[in-house]
Structure 1
Amino acid sequence: FARSFGMLLPGGDRREWVKPIMFSAGIGAIEDWHVHKEQPEPEMDVVKIGGPVYRIGVGGGAASSIQVQGDNTAELDFGAVQRGDAEMEQKMNRALRACIESRDSNPICSIHDQGAGGNGNVLKELSEPAGATIYTSKFKVADPTLSVLELWGAEYQETNALLMRSKDSEFLRAVCAREKCPVDFVGKITGDGKIVLVDDRDISVKADLPQCQPSPCAARPVDLKLDWVLGKMPQKEFKLNHVKLNLQPLTLPAELTVREALNRVLRLPSVASKRYLTNKVDRSVTGLVAQQQCVGPLHTPLADVAVVALSYFDTIGAATAIGEQPIKGLIDPGAGARMAIGEALTNLVFARVTELKDVKCSGNWMWPAKLPGEGAALYDACVAMCHAMAELGVAVDGGKDSLSMAARVGQETVKAPGSLVVSVYAVCPDITGTVTPDLKNPHGQGVLLYVPVTPGQYRLGGGALAQCYSQIGNDCPDLDSPHRLVSCFTVTQQLLEERLLSAGHDVSDGGLLTCMLEMAIAGNCGIELDISNSDSSVIELLFSEELGLVLEVSEMAVNAVCSRYRAAGLQCCRIGSTVGEGAQSMVRVRVNGDEVLSERTATLRSWWEETSFRLERLQSHRACVEEEERGLEHRVAPKYKLSFQPAHIPRPSTDSGVCEPRVAVIREEGSNGDREMVASLVMAGFQVWDVTMTDICSGLSLDSFRGVVFVGGFSYADVLGSAKGWAATVHFNPMARAEFARFRSRRDTFSLGVCNGCQLMAQLGWVASEADMELSDDGAARQGVLLTHNRSGRFESRFVTVAILESSSVLLRGMEGSTLGIWVAHGEGYMQFESEKVLTLVTENGLAPLRYCDDSGAPTEQYPQNPNGSPLGMAGLCSADGRHLAMMPHPERCTLLWQWPWMPQDWRQSLSSSPWLRMFHNAFQWCSQGL
């Protein structure tokens, strides 16, 4: 998940700068037998796998040790820039995964990722305590001018170091060759306890030297005992001094109204919509994402917690959430740290986890620690975090730091507020038990309950309202009673398990009223609030950011829910209900009997979304951004329709001796949608093979396969255009070209191309080919349509609506007339036809069976319901004989109900399986009829 914030605060000689950032947190899973590394043994190979050596991060190592960024040279700053290579990272991870999934044959004895310190750090730690000799000539270098120092210290990414035994080297080389991943055998474990770097690049006889016996004339720029550099380094001593803060009480305008305050708070970047972030990153990739950033019928970026499944065939997974409160830390570093923990847990609480004691967290520190007073503040925050964690029973098991969060601008030093980002994570026993913030029971059927964690406190310091008036204040919210948070967490988890909560959201940036408005905005409905409180002013009550939860429950569950919290020593009070839905819904707020706000939900949403759309105008096609902004005011929940009854389709048994039809899931360098595609095909009953283009180009025959599926992703990073690199591999490799031509000419085969695979099929002429549409037996496959850049000019990740029209497609049989939600994730999906004749042939012959729809279910070219602008809302194409289907949306990421980010409540309650599974079952049935 991402949080972003940005503003300037006055601060005497220095300026406190909350710079706009995006913080991402991720989690993974590992088999228990891979938890422990083997100890290094003499003669083990030291291996580097992944990208070649670049002069990247050399300056980063130096920059992170200076006091203020900007004091170093331009060359050093350039060298500090990390430049990622996602495709290389993926190739490396695929090679590692192939080793790991070999189970007992896994050749990896020990592995270590490369980060700070580069080779000079990772290889020392990997070989400890045995020691190793490393040879510079064995590294692949991307720049031949690299010095030995740069090779040893550059923090270039997308590379890991590992240990393995020589007998397994051929297996690793073969795996890496299949995945096109570089691998270097750079040295040997020696057992002498020393780390030795031999610079043998310029020795002409180096190829004849045994690895552990370097030539006497070879330089040894590193020759150190590991104890000296890892175990017995002298400890630094820091002398920290506190700097007395000149904090002033918060002073707000005397006649400040709730409406005026909201008008400012809802536009603050830390409070406002993050739509400009979430729709440009792939939120559905892997098909294992059970809860991503967006919620509700309009896919509002508001989720509290992220949830991922561990398998396509179970509902066990993991949940993660984050918390950060840097502005409150300016008032009290300890309070800022405790509030970060509190925010993280009140986010995590809306996903089912095993127990609070099972929650672990990572602490990520970003602090200008070397400036006066900041080191002491960092220490205070760390102590506060440790004490709070101990009382909560939550363990910190990792973290990162960046302690150079200051820069010189002219003669002025600008520093970022010290920030602690707490990332919490835990096992999720049921990924379907997650509750989202969007209100789900309009027309008075939903009751809103408020559960404060710090009852009776209404501190405004360090909050969004204070920031909107360029102030900080002198008294900020705090986690006063960790035991009360424990009780709140425990009770809420029990209510989740009993399915008594329909929606929930944490009180955080913006305060109680913002929390409730966000729930209404996400649910696209209205609310009526009636709050009685004589202990505080209206502004304090509604805008204080004290920890708490707001819950939506049914009328029948109100008493039961309230009594559960009260029995745990917590307050739980009824504060409102839902009223109406759609564009005309209203928000009405009464405090102590006086109406303090009456406004349309759509108007409040426009305030909340405005900052995001302003940022979006700087990044996307302006007309598209304005089209989405205008349309959002009138949006309603999409009207889905089913023309068939989805039923659970059990995987056919093989006991009868009938062979399952084979399907090849074909991927290329950069593909990323193969695993979810394999799972969908396995659910339908196919025998599925993972096939790379390397396999095809090496002579693998497709004769035994009934189907091929070209999966989504970014083949060759799509740097030349969508799937052009992949298509070139087919066109210019005689073996591959002949194999695919033979497969397509068979009448007993089918093909499916999704996203990047759709682009490939268009390039190859398998769909929208003029010869195919005119049913010419001897017509060559020629490209009739080009998938090009989205009208918005950027990558689009959205959950859209498509209508399925009548067509000859064998994969869509029986689905005609349905209107369904589906994921899209592409940057080049606009269908540009070669000529009007081709477009006419496609439409007149029913060869565009999938159309993007508006909320009423009608095909549309309107953005963002049509995310790429394709004519007539075209989202997919099929061949004239129906055997080949190419589509930009991702059905393989919607074959399970929990993969859908939203569906109507009655569907959620009545369906036992996803409608999109029918498509894969159709393919299986078609293949079975010909067996």
Structure 2
Amino acid sequence: MATPQVCIIPGVSAFSEFRRQALASNIGARDVQGQYIHYVEPAGCLDSESIALLMKLLTDGHHEEAQEKVDEPSKVLHVLPRPGTISPWSSKATSIAHVCGLRKVVQRIERGIKITVFLEDGQSLDNASLDFLYDRMTETISSDEPDLDLLFLHQEPGTLGTYDLYNGGNSPVEILRDLNRKLGLALDDSEIRYLVEAYSKDGPVPRKPTDVELFMFAQVNSEHCRHKIFNASWTIDGKPKTNTLFGMIRNTHKQTPEGTISAYSDNAAVLEGSSGSQWAPDDLNGQWKATKEGVHMLIKVETHNHPTAVSPFPGAATGSGGEIRDEGATGRGAKPKAGLSGFCVSDLLIPEHRQPWELDYGKPHHIASSLDIMLEAPIGSAAFNNEFGRPCTTGYFRTLLVDMKTGKDSSEVRGYHKPIMIAGGVGTVRPQHALKDPGIVSDGAFLIVMGGPAMLIGLGGGAASSVSSGEGTAELDFASVQRGNPEMQRRAQEVITACTALGSHNPILFIHDVGAGGLSNALPELAKDSGLGAEFELRDVDCADKSMSPLQIWCNEAQERYVLAVAQEGMNKFRSIAKRERCEISVVGRATKRQVLRLTDRNHPANGYDQQDPIDLPMEVLFGKPPKMTRDVTTRKVELPGFDTSLTMYAPQASTDGLLEEAISRVLQMPAVGSKSFLITIGDRTVGGLTARDQMVGPWQIPVADVSVTATSLTTGIRTGEAMAMGERPTTALISPPASARMAVAESLMNLTAADLPDRLSQVKLSANWMSAANHPGEGAGIYEAVETLGMYLCPKLGVSIPVGKDSMSMKMKWSDPSSGEAKEVTAPLSVVISAFAPVLDIRKTWTPQLKRHNEVGETTLFFVDLGLAHRALGGSMLTQSFKQIGDEAPDIRSVSLFKDFFDATQQLHEQDLVLAYHDRSDGGLFTTLVEMSFAGRCGIEIMINDICPTPRTPDVISCLFNEELGAVFQVRKSDENRFKACFATCGPPPGLIHKIGRVSTKSSQQNLAIYHGGKLIYRTTRAQLQQKWSNTSYWMQQLRDNPACADAEYKGILDDADPGLSYNLTFNPKENINTYRASLLNYVRPTARPRVAILRDQGTNGHAEMAFAFDAAGFTAIDVHMSDILSPSAHQTHLGVDHDLSSFVGLALCGGFSFGDCLGAGQGWAKSILFHPATRTKFKHFFERKDTFTLGVCNGCQVLSKLKELVPGAEKWPSFERNESEQYEARVCMVKVSDPPPESGMPPSVFFHGMAGSSLPIAVAHGEGRASFTTDTPRSVIPLGSRKTLDAQMAHDFAYANLAPLRYVDNHTLAPTTNYPANPNGSPAGIAGVRSHDGRVLALMPHPERTVLGGIGSFIPEGKVLDEKGGFGEWGEYGPWMRLFQSARRWVG
């Protein structure tokens, strides 16, 4: 079907200067230029006025033509989304156009890139070169002009398929086997026979099956969804086993049920939490308020391995998105809080930085390389978390590819060609909503799909991820990958949050997320879990693509969707909430008492002859029990060679004296050991205002934290919280699967104990992710042993349980080498990833690895507690891997009782506040533990290994420093040595396992590491040299991925021994009461005395809760206002009695987040929705002009205000905020300095900085577009090439000199404004971090003061500021210094 005339609107340049250079270098061309091209499919007549509006919307009124290069050979290419798909960008851009009043004339907007490649003489572009220019998973590339009919293809809807199993010539079983292969159903033989019987003339469904039914059955019953291996019967070495894998895991909960509210029965496990409050707007008046109640924790950890292998960015993004939905769909609705992520891949093979241990074994052509996965997948995961608004606060990263000997003349390659992508986290749920109650879903309840529309993406993901990669086809692999739209998921989450805020009036009766299998899995599960059947109408499902067939509509895995049951009496409230949040809902069916699942199609109603319903199945057929899987496996014992600790046979080129240096160099550069900075600074860690401990530690923000800690709730004076930590030792599984599993649990608990936990391990709960190539020789027996040792022995002995987990049983990659035809395969080791969770008693008492310097705390001692009982097993260690070995002896928990005693002792140490620094021994051994502590403290250390190393000989030193047995290093004051030992004497390890091994150097300027044995110096080097070596992998990856100049600057900074790090230099007392009126208003007894502030948000905003809390704590009445309320006030009066007229507010706060997903530029969509609506524009203009008002915009709110500057008096010279110079999202803690105009300037002081002028202090930064630009609106043709940055710098200097930049990034040394990265995270000229109006009433900031207003919240807080010696609040009181900003506004209002 032909499309109406498409409007084409050229846009701005698609590539920055350094991106162009990188692309040209990659493909060997002279230059590469790119320009965005917008394609607008009209819904009606696009008149000149509409086109002008579209141009203003899409290009902000100007575009940049590619520079012509006369007489240079060139090739023009067009990159477009794949036909039949709708890009996330398109969804957001179309939404912006509709909100801006173009709904009647714009059907859809899509975007492509016109690329011009300037070739070298005689050069042509091959497919390998083209791969650098587009993403083959989501895009097409062609030298032909775009076929716009294909781009906006409108086909007739696909038809229903039916299959005759009994009249096809072959047997029904053979016919279905053939369909199984063609459709990628991944059914096993027992399921095929089960279905053949079900559709036989004597079966419960005596007719032809439809394609929808077969596909749905495959998804619902896939290994991914039904965990058949974990529920199978096992026979090992001829002996039947009495327990299933799942039964043994359940045993842990049976033995230790305390503290667990829900296990194995919901999307996440629910644990008892601490007392806190529910912080949410009141439904009656929109006022944010706290309701004191228990805050239960929920925990979940998922994997998304297969999609990440096929297409790393969307695979990892939707992995995180799916886990977030799991949390939100727990109970009757819950709230995600903080996340974790993890990755395992094969060797990186970084160009020009190949490592001696790495193996280049090739890969299938349709699977991403390990390097590409780690360049793209972490950004996908982080981008989803960032845009949704969930901090990611812990994780791990490991590489492995090794040729393992399996016999005298045989070997196999073990590694992660099929990667692991872990996504998990902790959330909260209200007590009354913690459990699903099927009894409240009654016959006739509405069944609803909420969120994004159905799209032809992610078809068959559940089945595809249930087979070994390479066994299916590339086409099926591509079809099984989804695409993510986190802004849509944020909208859906806001609906859930608003519903749960209603407490007992929550209209959600039941909720599931839509994941693997799409609606074909989620809606039947919803009906089954409610104990009911259901009837659905296919055409009531919201579809973005009207050409989709019934199978595609029902089974696609389009993301950001939930299915819900809502009672008839709750529908009006639910609809009004969803409409206000601009979240689509579709009532697709009703629950029925009849135990049948029926899907009708009103376009093609069943007639009893040639047309049947897409689905008409008894529930017992769909969810019946096909024959139980049986597993008959044998144990495989591989005789692995031992590891030679002399190293001479592995590094013959190294001198005898240089062997230790070689080992250190290799181990520190192992990705599992080295800095993970490149994975951490891309992810927001502070959104929500509750992060007390993230990965970055201390004044120098070194990524070595053992544990993540969050506060229970936004509550003044809160001390309690939640901790999560991870543990995994997969390489050890090549030697001993059960030891690997035990060590994973032990490592997670060693990390977790850095938090101030209750004195009972029964409060600790584990999530276990089990990944294995279960059909590989020996792996079936291996996973049984691993589950058995945890489920039946270790966890019950420790008193911890595993109430939630996930398995992935197809961790193998198979392919044929394209040149030789050789069959290849790479098999992952058994990988048990443990995530440990526990309530926290005091978030302020978390230990970190940061060593305290001598000038801060005096003389200190380093103690090593050896839980390995002097064993020094090197098997599976970073050392052995770095020399291409595995080893033959695995580390293990040597004594469970000793381990429990250690845990008890650490709780006493927390109570007595004796520990200055703590770090466990893990990857890289004791050497890595010590140097990471040195990096975090930026200090030198002297280590004496006499007690733990028998001789100074290299083999003994190597095994001492690099074994990865259990243990930990503590720093304590020398004066506290006896008290420290006493804690262990009463309940911990015996004295013989506690060794005094070193001290911190007395001079901070001497940052050396020295290792002695007796009086003999074994090794000496500098902290800086070691830290650069440790940072190499992160640095190289950052160079490839981001602006290399920024990577160079950060790497160079490691060498600066004199860097003082972050510091607080305050000109005010945070405890001071600056609101004198409050003395007579004890506890704010008169609500009318609290001025009203509009906490303004739009779709995609995610920072409104902490903003509202900050203003409320400062003495304001914070009112929740959505842009829907202002744009269409009559249509969105969900809050009865709320006056959304801005004239009723004294303050306006525009919150942070990703409005419209930052599509068209950060803040553009939100700003244009104001500017393009005359009535709304007038409302804002009048508010800004009122002299009795103030306005604060933070991050996205700052970007919006910069686009509204034409409405703001005194903001005419404001810059816009553009892409960071690093071209990466930057999440950091940076130093900023506050300034106010001097009295002689004649300018009024800022409303927000009373007494703060001259203060310099850290602040949270989290944005991708924060670089102040004063020349963005100036076309390129006006500014000479290369002069834009110079002109920007001059204009920024003049702007700051005019006292319009009250907040500027400063360096750690001089506290003077800086443009140096990363102190200035975005490259803003003159260090501009915030701007103000001339009269001081309007403030726009890119950093986030609202995120650290609670005492104890922040990545770096000096000793004594939030915790005093008696356990009370310290020098700052219950709030952090940034609370002064909000208190200043309150003081100004009076």
- Name the TM tier (shorter chain): over 0.9
Deviation at 1:142, TM superposition (A): 2.4
Which of 1030, 1044, 1069 is residue 645 of structure 1 equivalent to? 1069
Which stretch of the first structure deviates more once superposed, 336-345 or 45-54?
45-54
Structure 2 residue 928 is the aligned partner of structure 1 residue 514: yes
Structure 2 residue 415 is the aligned partner of structure 1 residue 17: yes
Deviation at 1:707, TM superposition (A): 0.6
Matches within 5 A, 1:354-365: 354=758, 355-365=760-770
User: Residue 914 of structure 1 aligns with which residue?
Assistant: 1376
Structure 1 657/849 Cα, relative in aligned 2: closer, same or farther at 3 Å? closer
Say if 2:732 and 2:739, in contact at 8 Å, map to a contact too: yes
Structure 2 residue 393 is the aligned partner of structure 1 residue 393: no
User: Residue 600 of structure 1 aligns with which residue?
Assistant: 1022
Say if 2:1292 and 2:1326, in contact at 8 Å, map to a contact too: no
Say if 2:1213 and 2:1295, in contact at 8 Å, map to a contact too: no
Structure 2 residue 659 is the aligned partner of structure 1 residue 247: no
Structure 2 residue 459 is the aligned partner of structure 1 residue 58: yes
TM-score (norm 2): 0.64
Structure 1 542/390 Cα, relative in aligned 2: closer, same or farther at 3 Å? same
Q: After superposition, what is the alpha-carbon deviation per residue over 1:837-874, rounded to whole angstroms, capped at 9, x for unaligned?
A: 96465233211111101112111110000001111111
Which stretch of the first structure deviates more once superposed, 185-194 or 840-849?
840-849
Structure 1 818/216 Cα, relative in aligned 2: closer, same or farther at 3 Å? farther
Say if 1:47 and 1:162, in contact at 8 Å, map to a contact too: yes
Which of 1250, 1261, 1269 is residue 813 of structure 1 equivalent to? 1250
Say if 1:199 and 1:218, in contact at 8 Å, map to a contact too: no
Which of 455, 477, 483 is residue 83 of structure 1 equivalent to? 483
Structure 1 784/567 Cα, relative in aligned 2: closer, same or farther at 3 Å? closer
Instruction: Name the SS for the 1:792 alignment partner.
Output: coil
2 CA distance for matches of 1:24 and 1:194? 35
1 CA distance for matches of 2:909 and 2:1072? 29
Which of 205, 222, 235 is residue 615 of structure 2 equivalent to? 222
Counterpart AA for 1:642:
L
1 CA distance for matches of 2:1213 and 2:593? 61
Which of 105, 110, 113 is residue 505 of structure 2 equivalent to? 105
Instruction: Name the SS for the 2:631 alignment partner.
Output: coil
Matches within 5 A, 1:530-549: 530-532=944-946, 533=948, 535=950, 537-549=956-968
Say if 1:198 and 1:221, in contact at 8 Å, map to a contact too: yes
Say if 1:502 and 1:553, in contact at 8 Å, map to a contact too: yes
Counterpart AA for 2:545:
D
Say if 1:524 and 1:581, in contact at 8 Å, map to a contact too: no
Structure 2 residue 674 is the aligned partner of structure 1 residue 268: no
Deviation at 1:582, TM superposition (A): 5.1
Which of 1262, 1269, 1274 is residue 832 of structure 1 equivalent to? 1269
Which stretch of the first structure deviates more once superposed, 110-119 or 522-531?
110-119
Deviation at 1:65, TM superposition (A): 3.0
Which of 1127, 1147, 1158 is residue 707 of structure 1 equivalent to? 1147
User: Residue 428 of structure 2 aligns with which residue?
Assistant: 29
Structure 2 residue 1307 is the aligned partner of structure 1 residue 854: yes
Which of 1160, 1164, 1170 is residue 730 of structure 1 equivalent to? 1170
Which stretch of the first structure deviates more once superposed, 917-926 or 30-39?
30-39
Matches within 5 A, 1:343-354: 343-354=747-758
Counterpart AA for 1:396:
I
Instruction: Name the SS for the 2:969 alignment partner.
Output: strand
Deviation at 1:820, TM superposition (A): 0.8
Structure 1 44/509 Cα, relative in aligned 2: closer, same or farther at 3 Å? same
Deviation at 1:372, TM superposition (A): 2.6
Structure 1 841/706 Cα, relative in aligned 2: closer, same or farther at 3 Å? farther
Which of 978, 982, 997 is residue 559 of structure 1 equivalent to? 978
User: Residue 669 of structure 1 aligns with which residue?
Assistant: 1099
1 CA distance for matches of 2:1258 and 2:511? 41
Instruction: Name the SS for the 1:448 alignment partner.
Output: strand
Structure 1 839/864 Cα, relative in aligned 2: closer, same or farther at 3 Å? closer
Aligned length: 908
Instruction: Name the SS for the 1:898 alignment partner.
Output: coil
TM-score (norm 1): 0.94
Structure 1 682/240 Cα, relative in aligned 2: closer, same or farther at 3 Å? same
Instruction: Say what the alpha-carbon RMSD is for the aligned residues.
Output: 2.1
Structure 2 gaps, min length 5: 1-393, 405-409, 649-655, 817-822, 1130-1139, 1238-1244, 1272-1286, 1363-1369
User: Residue 302 of structure 1 aligns with which residue?
Assistant: 704
Instruction: Name the SS for the 2:687 alignment partner.
Output: coil
Which stretch of the first structure deviates more once superposed, 562-571 or 330-339?
562-571
Structure 2 residue 1232 is the aligned partner of structure 1 residue 797: no
Counterpart AA for 2:1021:
E
Deviation at 1:922, TM superposition (A): 0.7
Say if 2:416 and 2:826, in contact at 8 Å, map to a contact too: no
Q: After superposition, what is the alpha-carbon deviation per residue over 1:494-544, rounded to whole angstroms, capped at 9, x for unaligned?
A: 211221111111110000111011011011111111122355711111111
Structure 1 866/608 Cα, relative in aligned 2: closer, same or farther at 3 Å? same
1 CA distance for matches of 2:557 and 2:808? 15
Which stretch of the first structure deviates more once superposed, 465-474 or 891-900?
891-900
Deviation at 1:901, TM superposition (A): 1.0
Counterpart AA for 2:1204:
L
User: Residue 162 of structure 1 aligns with which residue?
Assistant: 564
1 CA distance for matches of 2:711 and 2:1087? 33
Matches within 5 A, 1:53-202: 53-66=454-467, 68-128=468-528, 129-202=531-604
User: Residue 2 of structure 1 aligns with which residue?
Assistant: 395
2 CA distance for matches of 1:225 and 1:442? 73
Q: After superposition, what is the alpha-carbon deviation per residue over 1:97-137, rounded to whole angstroms, capped at 9, x for unaligned?
A: 10001002100111122223322222222212221112211
Deviation at 1:285, TM superposition (A): 0.7
Deviation at 1:147, TM superposition (A): 2.6
Deviation at 1:14, TM superposition (A): 3.3
User: Residue 777 of structure 1 aligns with which residue?
Assistant: none
Instruction: Name the SS for the 1:383 alignment partner.
Output: helix
Instruction: Name the SS for the 2:632 alignment partner.
Output: coil
Counterpart AA for 1:7:
L
2 CA distance for matches of 1:232 and 1:369? 22
Say if 2:699 and 2:1063, in contact at 8 Å, map to a contact too: no
Q: After superposition, what is the alpha-carbon deviation per residue over 1:597-649, rounded to whole angstroms, capped at 9, x for unaligned?
A: 21111111111111110111111100110011112211332343111111165
Which stretch of the first structure deviates more once superposed, 50-59 or 677-686?
50-59
Say if 1:198 and 1:218, in contact at 8 Å, map to a contact too: no
Counterpart AA for 1:704:
S
1 CA distance for matches of 2:987 and 2:608? 74
Which stretch of the first structure deviates more once superposed, 819-828 or 105-114?
105-114
Say if 1:200 and 1:219, in contact at 8 Å, map to a contact too: no
2 CA distance for matches of 1:16 and 1:541? 27
Say if 1:361 and 1:395, in contact at 8 Å, map to a contact too: yes
2 CA distance for matches of 1:360 and 1:201? 50
Say if 2:1062 and 2:1230, in contact at 8 Å, map to a contact too: no
Instruction: Name the SS for the 2:614 alignment partner.
Output: strand
User: Residue 910 of structure 2 aligns with which residue?
Assistant: 496
Which of 764, 771, 790 is residue 366 of structure 1 equivalent to? 771
Matches within 5 A, 1:737-776: 737-765=1177-1205, 772-773=1209-1210
Counterpart AA for 2:517:
G
Instruction: Name the SS for the 1:811 alignment partner.
Output: coil
Which of 787, 804, 820 is residue 382 of structure 1 equivalent to? 787
1 CA distance for matches of 2:840 and 2:562? 29
Say if 1:766 and 1:884, in contact at 8 Å, map to a contact too: no
Structure 1 159/581 Cα, relative in aligned 2: closer, same or farther at 3 Å? farther
Say if 1:309 and 1:315, in contact at 8 Å, map to a contact too: yes
Q: After superposition, what is the alpha-carbon deviation per residue over 1:363-382, rounded to whole angstroms, capped at 9, x for unaligned?
A: 11121112232222221211
Structure 1 gaps, min length 5: 207-213, 774-780
Structure 1 658/99 Cα, relative in aligned 2: closer, same or farther at 3 Å? closer
Counterpart AA for 2:828:
A
Say if 1:524 and 1:636, in contact at 8 Å, map to a contact too: no
Which of 408, 412, 430 is residue 842 of structure 2 equivalent to? 430
Counterpart AA for 2:1331:
L
